[in-house]
Amino acid sequence: MLAAASALGGCSFTGTLAPRGPDAQIAANLWWYMFWLGTAIFVGWLVLFIVAMRRRQPADADPDAERRLHRRFIIGGGIVLPCLAFATLFALDLWGINALPQGDDVVVEATGYQFWWEFAYRDPQLVTANELYIPTGTDVEVRLHTEDVIHSFWVPQLSGKRDMIPGRTNTLTLHATEPGRYLGECTEFCGIQHANMRFEVVAVPPAEYEAWHERMARPATEPSTAAQQRGYEAFMNASCAGCHAIRGTSADGEIGPPLTHFASRRWLGAGAAPNDRGHLAGWIVNAQTLKPGNAMPPMEIDAEDLSALLDYLQSLE
């Protein structure tokens, strides 16, 4: 399985420590405050503790004075110190919660499946998978649903995570300040392929986003060569169409990710492999090799049909 590594652009690491949105920024700031506070407390206590271990109380020390000293230690360290830390942290907590973005300029319905993601947009309506386009500088409300078990939606560079729970709809606001590709992950253990349930958030400037949205809302490209035509027929005649939808054709399966503009996606199988011809061929012949335990069965398909099918799928820009 290859990496979602190139998703990072020039960055050397992903995650909480490289925030690209206000929500993640708040968490990162909080982390650094707490890191320094925690380090100060740990080091301070440790020094005290080491001194305590090294020093030697004179044998004739006055027991009453000792008792007073003990009390001072315990009240100072056990009550006063945590009170101060507590007040600081509580303030940080409230500030953090209130500073989170809340808007819904764009709304996306995200649904978790074992083990991939569906993203539905409105005006115009469209359904896609495993890649979430959002406009930069905009509050995007993501409504979280699940088709099966509990999943959790997390884009560390943009925001904290939120669970997708049967029978409930949680929401989360994504806001990217910079264009880029950001790694998204499922963070609730959801079965055998929980590890390979990734997605990509692609943040682009609003104009580009509009263009993308408009393009994605169109039906799939018609086959234009003989090979693509043969691939198209193979798709419809093999069991593919039973599980996958391609808008503008009779394929309307709902078990697997929709493939209408599949060729425009960078990854295969929710981050299991890059979307190139070689991996795609391997995926179709036996998706269980790349991602053991996922719901797509191995396909019986002869070499020529496979090649034609690849031609067709790769034409679905």
Partner 1 sequence: MSILDPTADSPQQVRQRLTETWSDPYGTPGFFSTVDHKRVGHRYLVTSFVFFLLGGVEALLMRTQLATPDAAVLNPDLYNRMLTMHGTTMFFLFLGTIIAAWGNYIIPLAIGARDMAYPRMNALSYWVFLFAGIFLYASFFVGAIPDGGWFAYVPLTTDYSAGLAMDFWALGVVFVGISSTVGAINFIVTVFKMRAPGMTMSRLPLVVWSTLTTSFMILLSFPAITLAPLLMAFDRIVGTHFFDAALGGDPLLWQHLFWFWGHPIVYVVFLPPIGWLYMIIPTFTGRPIAGYNWAVAATVATGFISFGVWVHHMFATGLPDVTASFFSVASLGVSFPTAVAFFVFTATLWTARRIRWTAAMLWAVGALVSFVIGGISGVMVAIMPFDWQAHDTYFVVAHLHYVLVAGNVLPMFAAFHYWLPKVTGWMLDERLGKTSFWVTTIGLHVLFFPQHWLGLVGMPRRVYTYPAGLGWDVANLASTVGGYMFAAGVLIAMGNFFVSWRRRAPAGSNPWGAGTLEWATTSPVAPYNFAQIPEVHDRYPLWTLDGDVVDDPVGIAPQPGGVVLADEHHETLETVGLDARLGGVLAMPGPSYWPFWTAAATFLCFFGFLIQNPITLTLGLVAVAATLIGWHHGHLTGGEH
Please list every residue from 226 through 255 that binds partner 1, using CB under 8 A: none
Q: Which is nearer to partner 1, 155 or 204 (CB)?
A: 155
Residue 233 interacts, among Cu ion, ligand HEM, partner 1, none and using kind-specific CB cut-offs from 5 to 8 Å, with: none
DSSP the chain: ---SGGGGTT-S--STTS--SHHHHHHHHHHHHHHHHHHHHHHHHHHHHHHHHHS---TT--HHHHHHHHHHHHHIIIIIHHHHHHHHHHHHHHHHHHTS----SEEEEEEEETTEEEEEETTTTEEEESEEEEETTS-EEEEEEESSS-EEEEETTTEEEEEE-TT--EEEEE--SS-EEEEEEE-S--STTGGG-EEEEEEE-HHHHHHHHHHHHSPPPPP-SHHHHHHHHHHHHSTHHHH-B-TTSS-B--SS---TTGGG-SEETTTTEE-SHHHHHHHHH-HHHHSTT-SPPP----HHHHHHHHHHHHT--
Q: Is 82 in the site for partner 1 (CB under 8 A)?
A: yes
Alpha-carbon dihedral sign for residues 51, 52, 54, 60: positive
Q: Is 170 in the site for partner 1 (CB under 8 A)?
A: yes
Convert residues 126-165 into a mask of x (bound to ligand HEM by CB under 6 A) and - (unbound): ---xx-----------------------------------
**Which region among 67-75, 80-88, 146-154, 291-299 touches Cu ion (by CB under 5 A)?**
146-154
Q: Is 240 in the site for ligand HEM (CB under 6 A)?
A: yes
Minimum distance between the CB of residue 14 and partner 1, rounded to whole angstroms?
5
Q: Which is nearer to Cu ion, 190 or 309 (CB)?
A: 190
Q: Which is nearer to ligand HEM, 134 or 310 (CB)?
A: 310
Convert residues 38-57 into a mask of x (bound to partner 1 by CB under 8 A) and - (unbound): x--xx--xx-xx-xxx-xxx
Q: Which is nearer to Cu ion, 234 or 290 (CB)?
A: 290
Q: Which is nearer to partner 1, 150 or 238 (CB)?
A: 150
Q: Is 257 in the site for ligand HEM (CB under 6 A)?
A: yes
Binding-site member from 106, 126, 127, 197 for Cu ion (CB under 5 A) = 197
Tokens of 100: 């989170």
Q: Is 73 in the site for partner 1 (CB under 8 A)?
A: yes
Residue 238 interacts, among ligand HEM, partner 1, Cu ion, none and using kind-specific CB cut-offs from 5 to 8 Å, with: ligand HEM
CA of residue 75 relative to chain centroid, distance: 45
Instruction: Give dist(CA 170, CA 175) in Å, integer.
Output: 17
Binding-site member from 19, 184, 223, 256 for ligand HEM (CB under 6 A) = 256
Contact, 246 vs 316, CB < 8 A? yes
Q: Is 176 in the site for partner 1 (CB under 8 A)?
A: no
Which 88-117 positions form the footprint of ligand HEM (CB under 6 A)? 115-116
Size of site (CB under 6 A) for ligand HEM:
30
Residues in the chain: 317
Q: Is 273 in the site for ligand HEM (CB under 6 A)?
A: no
Convert residues 186-205 into a mask of x (bound to partner 1 by CB under 8 A) and - (unbound): xxxxxxxxxxx---------
Q: Is 30 in the site for partner 1 (CB under 8 A)?
A: yes
Contacts with ligand HEM, residue ranges (CB under 6 A): 115-116, 129-130, 193, 235, 238-240, 242-244, 255-257, 259, 262, 265, 268-270, 283-284, 291, 294-297, 299, 309
